[in-house]
Amino acid sequence: MTTLVLGATSRIAQQIAQRYAESGDKVFVAARDVEEAERIAADLAVRHQVKALAGRFDALATDDHSGLIDHVEAELGPVTTAILAFGDMGDQDRSQESFADAKRVIDVNYTGAVSICEALAAKMTSRGAGTIVGVGSVAGDRGRKSNYIYGSAKGAFGLYLQGLRNRLHSEGVHVMTAKLGFVDTRMTYGMATKIPVASPEAASAAIFEAARRRVDVLYYPSFWRAIMGVIKGIPEKAFKRLSL
């Protein structure tokens, strides 16, 4: 079995890679920072005695995406599980000032994610097997003034995954959406919140287990499903007056 981890420098991604390697999978870790990805792969290989390789993945370089999958499969065999762990939260204020900033956030979280998923779907449907895990965000469940550029890109990604899951179900390929709440990583460093923050270890364990059980939509931590249920239920007339 071969697992491909995209956005491998994320702490959540690294922990997920550890879990798949621990289970005996060959692992390919792909990231913008190839040197760091190579360090991560070397660590996986030593720690778990599995074949682990690294390569370059940039969500914005969509022309390279199917070539990357061809390369991974030539080196490690058919990809059985692919984890899309990359993301760019950007900065809402900067995105309002500069469309270039907003466009990058949209392109990393949505366009780039769709591009690599389509390339993966083509391979997996030809074999009638595979699992694609898209790491989304509760931010994609409702547009809020504090992060609606990132939120809308993650929301669009969530809708895309829903459609892909619907399309690939009859082809033997499973698609899971992991909607994360706050996790203690580089992305949330310095953010103040009264809501409990999960560890990357716990988030990765939940994603790994849910993917094995072929869950469709995972909220982690699970209390976010209820929180977002309430938030989504607030009428727009009242919601637009709130500061969230």
Residues that bind ligand NAP (CB under 6 A): 7, 9-12, 31-33, 57-60, 85-88, 108, 135, 137, 180, 182-183, 185-188
DSSP alpha helix (H) spans, 23-147: 34-48, 65-76, 92-97, 99-106, 112-127
Nearest approach, Cβ of residue 126 and ligand NAP (Å): 25
Residue nearest to ligand NAP (CB): 87
Question: How many CA atoms lie within 13 Å of 239's alpha carbon, on the beta-carbon side?
Answer: 11
Q: Measuring CA to CA, how many Å separate 230 from each of 137, 141, 180, 227, 241?
A: 16, 11, 16, 5, 16
Beta carbon nearer to ligand NAP, 9 or 177:
9
Nearest approach, Cβ of residue 239 and ligand NAP (Å): 21
Beta carbon nearer to ligand NAP, 191 or 242:
191
Beta carbon nearer to ligand NAP, 165 or 224:
224
Beta carbon nearer to ligand NAP, 137 or 177:
137
Nearest approach, Cβ of residue 169 and ligand NAP (Å): 23
